[in-house]
Amino acid sequence: MTLTLDVQQSAAREWFETLRNRICAEFEAIEREAGSDASFEYLAWDRTDHDGSPGGGGVRGVMKGRIFEKVGVNVSTVGGAFNPDFAQTIHGAADDPSFFATGISLVAHMANPHVPAVHMNTRFLATTKRWFGGGADLNPPIVYDEDSEEFHARLRAACAPYGPDVYERYRQWADDYFWIPHRQVHRGVGGIFYDHLECENDTMFDRNFAFTREVGEAFLDIFPKIVRKRMGQAFTEAEKQAQRIWRGRYAEFNLVYDRGTTFGLKTGGNVDAILMSLPPEVVWE
């Protein structure tokens, strides 16, 4: 189903799709540098609303290569009405379950355990309120302080024009959110996380949309640099096994606590696209 979009919704959707194209091109370029011809495979999907009516859809993009053991970059633009029970849990939907959502979601699991896994998601939602949310976080099975500092420095620079305390607030939000209570560990070395950047008027929309675009640009700038720095390092089977064990923690978080996973499943999204965040090879010990 092709949804009828207003100016703000169209602008957000176009940005997320354009960012997807640029990220996928950069990741494929890294594969070429490694002598691999791996490319993204795309699968379009349609969504059915909870009452059976059509409600938009999206495109799942997945690549399995020499450097990117498994990377998914998804975009979706959906709308309709939340299930009444689920509506009670969503900002601005308690009295009116109608909604619209568009966004990009990315998870990369790397072949080399010295290269960090990464997650990035940004989105625009509309109920009786409108807002942006998202963030990016680094998930290394083998931690290099240098990489963590570079990743955070780039996100700090993205936040700087929007207030002196923005980065610290969103960094703390990420630390709080990406915590695995039953393991008493963080999912990775953090990043930023934000939500409910409301767009009550055009000025607020423009500001929060600009910030969300800057988060995407920051990710596209810094993560490929870290990949290129680490992807040629030799690794042992013990290090690979440590990566597989660490991936188990990542899978636990995404299946038990991740709000995006819950949102996708509760709104009738494509199951394979939603669960592309799960690693290709994992063990529990």
Q: Is-contact 182 194, C-beta < 8 A?
A: no
What does each C-alpha distance from 209 to 75, 192, 202 come to in angstroms?
Answer: 17, 16, 10
**How many Å apart are CA 119 and CA 107, to the nearest integer?**
5
The helix/strand/coil state of 115 is: coil
Kindly report the backbone phi and psi dihedral angles of residue 191, in degrees, each rounded to the nearest multiple of 5, phi listed first.
170, -130
Helices of type H across the chain? 7-33, 84-87, 145-159, 166-177, 202-230, 237-256, 259-266, 271-274
**How many Å apart are CA 205 and CA 197, to the nearest integer?**
9
The helix/strand/coil state of 95 is: coil
Name the catalytic one among 119, 152, 182, 186. Answer: 119
119 is catalytic: yes
Residue in the block written with tokens 């980065």: 167
What residues does 72 pair with on adjacent strands? 62, 107
Residues known to be catalytic:
119
